[in-house]
Structure 1
Amino acid sequence: MAADEIKNVMVYWADGEINSFIKVWVSAYISLFYCYFVGKILAGGITRLACFLPVVCLFLLLPLQLHSMHLGGITAFFLAWLTNFKLLMFAFNTGPLANPSISLPRFLAVACLPIKLIPQNPRKNKTEEAGNGQMSIKNYAIKCLLMALIVKIYSFEDYIHPRIIMVIYGFHIYFALEIMLAIAAAMARGLLGAELEPQFNEPYVSTSLQDFWGRRWNLMVTRILRPTVYVPVLKWSTGIMGREWAPLPAVMSTFIVSGLIHELIFFYLGRVKPTWEITCFFLLHGLCLNAEIAVKKVVNGRWQLPRVVGTVLTVGFVMVTGFWLFFPQLLRCGGLERGLAELSAVGAFAKDVVRAVGLPVNSSV
C-alpha cells in the first residue's frame, strides 16, 4: 500500500471521520430512545408508524455523514437496513422489538445490531455448551487468520491473475461479514447475558440456492425480509395463484427488495450513480431460485442431485454470478483500495500507540 495513500486516509480520519461516527451513533441512540417510549405509549398501527417515519428517514440520511468503507459500510448496513426494517415491523407490533417486556438496553441492542435474542436454556448441558464454545472460538480464530492472510496476499496483487483476485475478494467479503457479525453478537452476549442466534451457517456447504439463501447466508437479513416482504406477498398471492405456487412471487419480491437495498448500501460506500448490476444479480438469483422451487415441486422428491454435486453447482453459481454482477460495482468505486488503506492506517496507528508506551515494534510487519 502506497505511503501517501495511507497518509491521506489517516489525515481524513483525523479530520473528523471518528467524530462523525460518534455523532451519527449518538443521534441514532437518541432516536431509538424516542421510539422505545413511543412504543410504550401508542398501540401498534398507523399512528405509531407516523411517529416512526421521521426516524426511518433520519436513518437513511445518517450514513451519508460517513465516507470510510468500514465505519460507513457498517453504519449503513445496521441503520439504513436492519434497524429501519425492525422499526417498521415494530410500528405494527411485530418483529423482535415487539416484546412488551423488553428492557431499554435490550431494545437498543436488538434494534441496532444484527442479532436476535433467544432465551437461555437452564437445562442445557454445561459440558456440551463449553465444547460448542471452544469449537466456535477455534472456528473464528481460523477465519481471522485466513482474513489476515487474504489482506497480506493483496500486497502481491500485481503478480496474481485478476480472476484469482476476484475469488480471494469473495472470501474476503464472507470472512469480513462473519467476523463483524460475530463481534457484534459477542458484545451483545457480554452486555445482555443472552444466547444469540447464529448469523451464518457455513454457506460454502450449501446444496442448493434454497439452502444457501434461506438457511445459510446472512440469516439475520433472511429473518428481517421474511416477515416484512415474503410473508405479506405470500398471503396476497395465495388468493390469486393458490398455495402451491404462491411462494414464487413472494420469493421474487424478496429478492427485488434485497437488490434495491444493496444498491442503496453500495451508494453509501461509493457515492456514485447506480449501474443496477447489483439489482440484476438478485433478480437473476430470484429467477433461478424460483426455477429450482418449481422443479422440486414437479419432481416431488423422486430424484435429487448428489450432495457433493449440489454443493459444487451452488457455490460455483454464486461465485460466478458474483464476479459477473456483484463485485465489479464495488471494485469500480475503489472499495478494495480504500478498505485496505483504512486497515493499513489502523495498523500504523496501532504501531504509534505501541511506540508511545515504550514497547518494541517490528518494522517489517
Structure 2
Amino acid sequence: MSSELISFVKVILISMASLLYCYFIAQKLSKGKFRLLSFVPVFSIFVVLPLYISSTFLSSNIAFFITWLTTFKLVLFSFNLGPLAFDSKVSFTLFASIAFLPTRIKHNKIAKYVQNHDDLGNDPHPKLPLSLPAKVVVFAMLVMGKRHLEIMDPIAKLYVNCATLYFYLDITMSLSNVFVRSRFGVEVRQSFDEPYLATSLQNFWGRRWNRSVSETLHTAVYQPVRYEIGVPRWMAVVIVFVVSGLMHELLLYYIIRAIPTWEVTWFFVVHGLCVAVEIELKRALGKRIKHSKTAKYAQNQEEVDKEPRPKIPLNLPAKVVIFVMLIMGKKYYEIVDPIAKLCMNCATLYFYLDMIMCLSNVFVRSRFGVEVSRPFDEPYLATSLQNFWGRRWNRLVSETLHNAVYQPVRYEVGGPRWMAVVVVFVVSGLMHELLLYYIIRAIPTWEVTWFFVIHGLCVAVEIELKRALGKRWQIHWVVSGPLTMAFLVATAHWLFFPPLLR
C-alpha cells in the first residue's frame, strides 16, 4: 500500500511538472504546429503514467483524467482552443485545475467571485439538481451493495453497475466544478444532464452523457474532420465515436492489463453508426415527422428553445429509479449490514413520500394550473432539528400542524412557545402511532410517539436557546449538519423503525 501511494505521488508530481512546462512554453510559442510539437513529449509521458500504478481505481482515474482529457485539452490549447484558451493570462493553479479536472466552464473569461458577502444581497443560495449530498449517499449505498453482487439477479446487477458508474462520474465532475468555481470564480456547467431522460441516441451522447468529453471530442475531432478535411457529416460523427471507442479501449487496457478484444471499440462504433443514421434521417425527413414538444426540446429546435422545459429538482424519474433499486435490494436484507439496512430504510421512506407528493403536485398543476410548492426541500441538508422538521421534511404536514395545532395553542390558549411546539410533536406522534396501527394491526408500543416527543422537546430547547443566545453562539453548518443527521438516524433506529420491522 505504501509503495502504491508513493507511485501515485510520483505520477502526480510528474504530471504537474509536465503541465508546468506546457504552461511556460505556451508563453514563448504562438499557437499552431510548433506549440503542438513542443507538447509531444508531454503526451508521451501521459500515455505511460497509468502503467506505473497497479491499483485499478487509481490507474483508471489517471488514465481518464490525465491520459485522455488533459491530453486532448492540451492538443486544443496548442491552437488556442478549448477550455485552457483563456482570453488573458491566468495563474498556473487555475490552468492546472482546468487541465486536470473534468470541469466544464461556460466561457473562458474570469469572473469576480463573491463568497457570501453583503453585496450578494438577496441572491438565493444556488441549488444543485439531484443534490450532490444525495448523489454521495446513493453512491455509497451502491458501493456497499456491491459485496452482494454474486447473489443478485443479472438485471439487478446490470442496474447497479450502470448506476454506480453514472453516480461516480457525476460526483467527481460535480466536485471539480464546485472547487473551480469557489476557488477561481470561473462559471461552470454540469457535465451530466439527466441522461436517463434521453429521447434518442443523439440526445444521449451529444447533450446528456458526460458533456465534458462530448465537447472535447467535438472540438478536437469533429470540427477538424468536418470543416478542415471536408468529410460528410455522418462520417465525421462516426470518426468521433471511433476515437472515443479507441480511448475507452485504452482505458480498459490500463485497468485490466490484458490484450484488447475490441468489444468496447465496437460498442462505440455501433452507436456512432446509429447516431449518424439518426442525424441523416432527421435531416432528410425534416418536419414530415411530427415531434412532441419533449422531442423538439431534446433536438434543440428553435421554437422550443424559447420555452425551455422546467426541471424538477432531484428529477422525478431519477427518484423512481432509485426507489425501485431500493425495493429490489430489500430481498437481500438478511445479509446486509445493519448500518446499510438502516440507510436503505431511511432512503426508501424518503423517496416513497417524496414521489407520491411530487406526483400529486404534477397532477394538480397540469390539470388545474394551480401553483404548487415542493413538499420536501433536501432534508439531508438540514442544519438543525428545527430546520429539518420546520422547513425541509414533509412541509405539507408541517404547515397543516402549524395552522391546526400550533397557532390555536400558542395564540388562542396562550401557551408558551415551547409548549406549543411540544404539543405539535405529540399530536404528530399520536397520528403516526395511529398510522402504524392501521399497518401492523397490533397493540401500540408507543415507541413512535416517544420518537416525536423526544424530537419535540429537543426542538423546543433549540428554539429557546437560539432565542436566549441570539447570534452570540452559532455552530457552523459543517458541524451541525452531520450532528443533526446522526441524531435523526440514531433515534429513528432506536424508536421509529423497530415497530415497523417487527
Q: Normalised by the size of structure 2, how large is the TM-score?
A: 0.54
Q: Would you say the 8 A contact 1:237–1:250 is kept in 2?
A: no
Q: Which amino acid aligns with 2:138?
A: L
Deviation per CA, 1:41-98: give whole Å up to 9, x if none. 1112222222110001001111111122222111111111111111111222222222
Q: Quick one: higher RCO (CA 8 Å, sep 6+), 1 or 2?
A: 1
Structure 1's 307 and 159: CA in aligned 2 closer, same or farther, altered over 3 A?
farther
1:173 aligns with 2:165: yes
1:293 aligns with 2:279: yes
Structure 1's 89 and 237: CA in aligned 2 closer, same or farther, altered over 3 A?
closer
Q: Which amino acid aligns with 2:169?
A: L
Local SS of the residue matching 2:131: helix
1:155 aligns with 2:147: yes
Q: How does 1:70-81 map to 2 (within 5 A)?
A: 70-81=57-68
Structure 1's 260 and 201: CA in aligned 2 closer, same or farther, altered over 3 A?
same
Q: Would you say the 8 A contact 2:104–2:191 is kept in 1?
A: no
In the TM superposition, residue 110 of structure 1 has moved relative to its aligned partner by: 1.2
Structure 1's 307 and 206: CA in aligned 2 closer, same or farther, altered over 3 A?
farther
1:302 aligns with 2:288: yes
Alignment partner of 1:112 out of 93, 96, 100: 100
- How many residues align? The count is 290
Q: Counterparts of 2:220 and 2:156 in 1: how far apart (Å)?
A: 38
Q: Counterparts of 1:210 and 1:27 in 2: how far apart (Å)?
A: 38
Q: How does 1:1-365 map to 2 (within 5 A)?
A: 13-14=1-2, 16-99=3-86, 100-117=88-105, 118=107, 119=109, 120=111, 130-131=124-125, 133-136=126-129, 139-236=131-228, 238=230, 246-304=232-290
Q: Counterparts of 1:236 and 1:195 in 2: how far apart (Å)?
A: 30
Local SS of the residue matching 1:78: helix
Partner of 1:341: none
Structure 1's 27 and 171: CA in aligned 2 closer, same or farther, altered over 3 A?
same
Q: Counterparts of 2:50 and 2:131 in 1: how far apart (Å)?
A: 32
Structure 1's 166 and 305: CA in aligned 2 closer, same or farther, altered over 3 A?
farther
Structure 1's 233 and 101: CA in aligned 2 closer, same or farther, altered over 3 A?
same
Q: Normalised by the size of structure 1, how large is the TM-score?
A: 0.73
- Say which is worse superposed, 268-277 or 110-119, in terms of deviation: 110-119
Q: Which amino acid aligns with 1:231?
A: Q
Q: Would you say the 8 A contact 1:82–1:114 is kept in 2?
A: yes
Q: Would you say the 8 A contact 1:208–1:310 is kept in 2?
A: no
Q: Which amino acid aligns with 2:226?
A: L
Question: Identity of aligned pairs, percent?
Answer: 36
Structure 1's 250 and 129: CA in aligned 2 closer, same or farther, altered over 3 A?
farther
Local SS of the residue matching 2:287: coil
Q: Counterparts of 2:201 and 2:172 in 1: how far apart (Å)?
A: 24
Local SS of the residue matching 1:134: coil
Q: Would you say the 8 A contact 2:4–2:55 is kept in 1?
A: yes
Q: Would you say the 8 A contact 2:241–2:268 is kept in 1?
A: yes
- Say which is worse superposed, 185-194 or 255-264, in terms of deviation: 185-194
Structure 1's 121 and 37: CA in aligned 2 closer, same or farther, altered over 3 A?
closer
In the TM superposition, residue 140 of structure 1 has moved relative to its aligned partner by: 1.8
Q: Structure 1: any 5+ residue segments left out of the alignment? A: 1-12, 241-245, 312-361
What's the C-alpha RMSD, in Å, of the aligned pairs?
2.6
In the TM superposition, residue 107 of structure 1 has moved relative to its aligned partner by: 1.1
Q: Which amino acid aligns with 2:269?
A: L
Local SS of the residue matching 1:191: helix
Q: Would you say the 8 A contact 2:83–2:98 is kept in 1?
A: yes
Greater Rg by CA: 2
Q: Counterparts of 2:84 and 2:139 in 1: how far apart (Å)?
A: 33
In the TM superposition, residue 293 of structure 1 has moved relative to its aligned partner by: 0.8
